[in-house]
Structure 1
Amino acid sequence: MKSRILAVTAVSAVALATITGCSSGAAGSDGDTITFMFRGNDAEKAAYTAAIEQFEKDHDVDVKIIMTTADEYSTKLKAAITGKQIPDVFYIDPGSVQAYVKSGIVKDITDKVEESVDLDNIWEYGVDSYRFDGKLMGQGAIYAMPKDIGPFSFGYNKTMFDAAGIPLPDPETPYTWAEFVDVAKKLTLDTNADGTLDQWGTGLNVQWNLQPFVWSNGGDWLNEDRTKVTVDTPEFAEALQFFADMSNVEKVTPSTSDAQTLDTYQRWMQGQIGFFPVGPWDVPTYEKLDFEWDLIPYPVGATGETATWTGTLGIAVAETTKNADIATELAIYLSTDPTAQQSLVDAGVQVPNLKDMADEWVASATLPPANKQEFLDIANEYGRALPANTTYSAEWYDELFKNIQPVLDGEQSAEDYLAEVQPRMQQLLDKANADAGIG
């Protein structure tokens, strides 16, 4: 999934030398030069280059762009921090905010943001993902501006529905779990009558797709103050069991051997999967698919309300920057300037950060998906942060997935596994909270 969220590109040796070549302080800070470090692909680099050229003209400043691949970014940034060569402006994920605040890595930019930005026109989720009051994420001072938000929606193959004579899903009324399985069964077929299935209702990755089912069923990973792991509840167990049963009982997903031959992402791309997740980062690629597709809400569990997560990256300012004002201006500009945002939207890499621009994006778009409004509904109404993004570290969260395969293979019940894994997760959460100074 990570490799699909941001495609990889070659690291520029010259750009990295900008970080490693300075002897102290923020990289490249010489009075009229600041550095911006990010991860991305060629389209994103081109969009940022165009936007930053305008910023340089407007502010009489030289911005050195440092780009890495998605896979290398964290390692390169940590190396820069360790070597005290921190770029002036850089990408940050919500899960790193607490540690970077505690370590004095990122600057509190609240005052500048509040005096220069119309926060009512920025996705609240995006800004709140970088707020921290010293105890809990989501409130308090602002330590980064959102680079983007990524509503993780649900797609379906319209061409497959038409071929099967199944009515298209209602974009306003989600399927129940039972309805979803019923349709998925009708889409799971041996289309060439050779005795082997070659089309399936769905094919989901547990690490990225379990959350909508758990939340919609009334379960969650943590209690409200984020001190207790709550995966050992009936609501959570029912959701995980349903997820596993789609493969082992209902048989509406590719088998383990089928998935090894060709993963479900590639099968979706080839038109062999009926339902599959879609993020904004997928849209440029999916526009080239050989079948029609669109977006719908995720199926609903016991609560009767759909749910999913929203991703985000932030743009932070280094506490050590020698050009705090202009560095903060750049972070705000890249996040909120209409021209800069248009460059990124035109590159097909994100939903607009500005609400009024996003509304226009939905109204004027001619390329798929037709129901782009679903992205905005997630952003506006029901998208949530991934659980690990609100805690000091992600170890406790990752623990859930380390030994989950027997459940997915039907060899262990969800209830038994969750009772077994909860104490280990709790121990790791306690450590994270202790490291954060939260008692």
Structure 2
Amino acid sequence: MKKFGLTLTTAALLVLTTNGCGSGGTANDAATSDTGKASNANTQEASGGTVELTFGFNGGDGPTYDLYKSIFKEYESAHPNVKITPQAIAKDFTSTIMTRIAGGNAPDVFWMSNQDMPSFADRNALLDLTPYDGKDFQSGDYLDNIMAGYKWKGNIYGLPGDAAPIVLFYNKELFDQAKVDYPTAGMSWDDLLQKAQALTVKKGDQIDQYGYAQDVTWNFWAPFVWQNNGDILSSDGTKSAINSPESSEAFTFIRSLMNEYKVAPTASSMQTTPSYQLFQQGKAAMYFGGSWVASTILRDTNFEWDVVAPPAGKSKATAMALGGFAVSKTTKHPEEAVKFLSWLAGEEGQKRKFEGGFAGLPTLKSLINTPLATKGFEHPTYKNIHLQEIVDSTQYARVAPSSANWTQINAEMTKLLQLYWNGEQEIGPTLESVDKQINEILSGK
């Protein structure tokens, strides 16, 4: 069986995932075109007055890149005055794009994560799309919580092309063997703990099978903070909100699964064997992970599994990664670039992408509740898997807090929280340190 189909571009920004889990990793890239050399086509026009637009693709050669190229050919057929030249950027994507923008040779249109967008917009690197709203695209056509990921300081700097929420996967065979009821959408934290306890198997002093597994990067602990009505940043993004009783309770619960109840692998042990591998190997009964694993590693398992929307606390919440597109502020063809972007992220472009097997969810209200929404996750070997649960999770999914300093904030949080996850520090002083560091970053100290 072929292990990987079309790799989810969104997962590439998982700076979300640890240890390179799933099909994710970091937002990779290093500027190369099909010939391995960056093109300056955005400053030129092809013969006959044809406008040539360059597109910066986050990734190297492969099925997804080929899919995009076929989509571009369709656009060119319908718009004979436009030629799209793709540029595959397989390493250090974010820094490469920013360097090329500074050098005046950036792609006209390029992939853009919602996490990076504010910092690009603050550096005046992106074309403000707000004036084109209502003319070339309708921002109201997108799911509100998804469109919010591409708005910054009241303006629009990108359009979302695909989404991937964090959901709960479970091994049906392990549940059946233990005679434990399957997880349900929105079950309580107590229910999660009880099921995890019932599914944890010891051999002597060693854990042979965990009841639950999750990573400890922000997008896996943030849902519990949000479910408990806590937050990371204030609503206006100007100060930290993480040092609260709500956040403290959420972090305490997650670590208790690892260190107190011992139903989940510890943070240190996951540096050797990532949580997704434990689930893939049948060594964890439940896995709180990105929806993209349904289209990657779970196609290579030898057990029956299913998926359900995440647990809930006081509120329903989960994290969601977005992949979208933006236009360079330095493009010589802003009108043509915006029209192409609007088509690519619009209904026609999304239909072609997901019909082609792209593993993600559409971002348009008109497509999210159609069979197309789950098409990229489907596989001939999957039987009775409730993929609609992934779609349903988008109703209350949230993206990374909007901040031009998010990359730095996330790096500092990860470093300081590691002491807590490793059991070297309690949650009170940990959150005080995190809170202080976030506020210093936001204040420019």
Does 1:92 find its partner at 2:112?
yes
Q: Which residue of 1 aligns with 2:184?
A: 170
Equivalent position of 1:275 in the other structure: 286
- The residue that corresponds to 1:372 in the other structure is 387
Unaligned runs of 5+ in 1: 134-139, 433-439
* 1:154 aligns to 2:168 (yes or no): yes
Paired residue secondary structure (2:351)? helix
Distance 2:390 2:439 in 1: 33
Label 1:408 to 1:99 Cα distance change in 2 as closer, same or farther (>3 A): closer
Q: Which secondary structure state, in structure 1, belongs to the residue aligned with residue 300 of structure 2?
A: coil
1:415 has 2:428 as partner: yes
1:357 counterpart residue number: 367
| Unpaired runs of at least 5, structure 2 | 1-16
Q: What letter is aligned with 1:232?
A: N
- Alpha-carbon separation, structure 2, partners of 1:413 and 1:247: 14
Partner of 1:400: helix, strand, or coil?
helix
Larger helix proportion of the pair: 1
Compute the TM-score of the two structures, normalised by the length of structure 1.
0.85
- State whether structure 2 residue 412 is matched by structure 1 residue 399: yes
Amino acid at match of 2:255: A
After superposition, the C-alpha distances for 1:241-277 in whole angstroms (9 at most, x for unaligned) are 1111111100011246753542222111112112213
Out of 316, 327, 333, the position equivalent to 1:306 is 316
> Which residue pairs with 2:6 in the alignment?
none
Change (3 A) 1:419 1:128: closer
How many pairs align? 413
Aligned to 2:12: none
How far off is 1:86 after superposition?
1.2
Equivalent residue for 1:346?
356
Checking the alignment, whether the CA contact within 8 Å between 1:248 and 1:409 is kept in structure 2 is no
CA deviations over 1:196-244 (Å, ceiling 9, x no partner): 3221012211113111111111211122222221222111111111111
- Whole-Å Cα distance in 2 between the matches of residues 57 and 198 of structure 1? 57
How many angstroms does 1:360 deviate by? 1.9
Choose from 208, 230, 242 the match for 1:231: 242
Q: Which residue of 1 aligns with 2:89?
A: 68
For the residues of structure 1 that align with 2:438 and 2:399, how far apart are their CA atoms?
19
| 4+ aligned runs moved over 6 Å, structure 1 | 7-11
Relative to structure 1, the CA distance from residue 311 to residue 255 in structure 2 (aligned partners, 3 Å threshold; closer, same or farther) is: closer
Whether the aligned pair in 2 keeps the contact of 1:341 and 1:353 (CA below 8 Å) is no
**1:202 to 2:216 alignment:** no
Q: Distance in 2 between matches of 1:228 and 1:306?
A: 24
Alignment match of 1:240 (pick from 229, 251, 259) = 251
Question: Is 1:189 matched up with 2:201?
Answer: yes
Query: How far off is 1:155 after superposition?
Result: 1.5
- Normalised by the length of structure 2, the TM-score is 0.84
Among 206, 218, 232, the residue aligned to 1:221: 232
Question: Structure 2 vs 1, CA of residues 161 and 362 (structure 1 numbering), >3 Å: closer, same or farther?
Answer: farther
What is the alpha-carbon distance in structure 1 between the residues aligned to residue 405 and residue 423 of structure 2? 33
Looking at structure 1, the residues matched to 74 and 351 of structure 2 have their Cα atoms a distance apart, in angstroms, of 13
Q: Distance in 2 between matches of 1:339 and 1:403?
A: 42
CA positional deviation for 1:28: 4.9
Aligned-partner SS, 1:206 = coil
Q: Distance in 1 between matches of 2:390 and 2:222?
A: 17
Structure 1 match to 2:277:
266
